[in-house]
Amino acid sequence: MEKILGKISNVEYGKDDRGCLGLHFTFTMTSSGVSDSRAVATFEHSQYSNWTEEERNDSIIELFWYLNNLLDEAKVSSVDKLKNIPVELTFDRNLLKDFRILTEVL
């Protein structure tokens, strides 16, 4: 596992091209200037999904708790204010595995 410092260069809440609803991040790594995208806490939202209403509601609740905790860690009040927040990105080879807000520098 490799840890690299970076920042959130873009974050959006909505659907992606696969029909998954959630938070979609783009990160810029300070060491290389390379960007990487990641969708977190997503769920498929289409007429063809086989989710029960309870599963869908649980996923929505999980997404909002995740968002609430993320905003609290970053000390901001809305998704658009997450832009330029410093993060630590964790990679396994070239695959982005996780990230965390660098709360100690905020």
Q: Total domain count for the chain?
A: 1
Residue 100, pLDDT score: 94
CA 23 to chain centre: 5
Residue 97, pLDDT score: 85
| Structure confidence by residue, pLDDT tens digits, 53-101 | 888 788 788 888 888 999 999 999 999 999 999 999 888 888 888 899 9
The residue ranking higher by pLDDT, 7 or 41, is 7
| Structure confidence by residue, pLDDT tens digits, 20-47 | 777 888 888 866 655 555 545 455 556 6
The span from the CA of 1 to the CA of 96, in Å, is: 10
* CB contact at 8 A, 28 and 9: yes
Q: Which domain holds residue 33?
A: 2-105
Sheet of 2-15: strands edge to edge? 35-44, 20-29, 2-15, 86-92, 95-101
Q: Which residues of 5-27 are buried (b: 16+ CB within 10 A; e: fewer)?
A: ebbbbebeeeeeeeebbbbbbeb
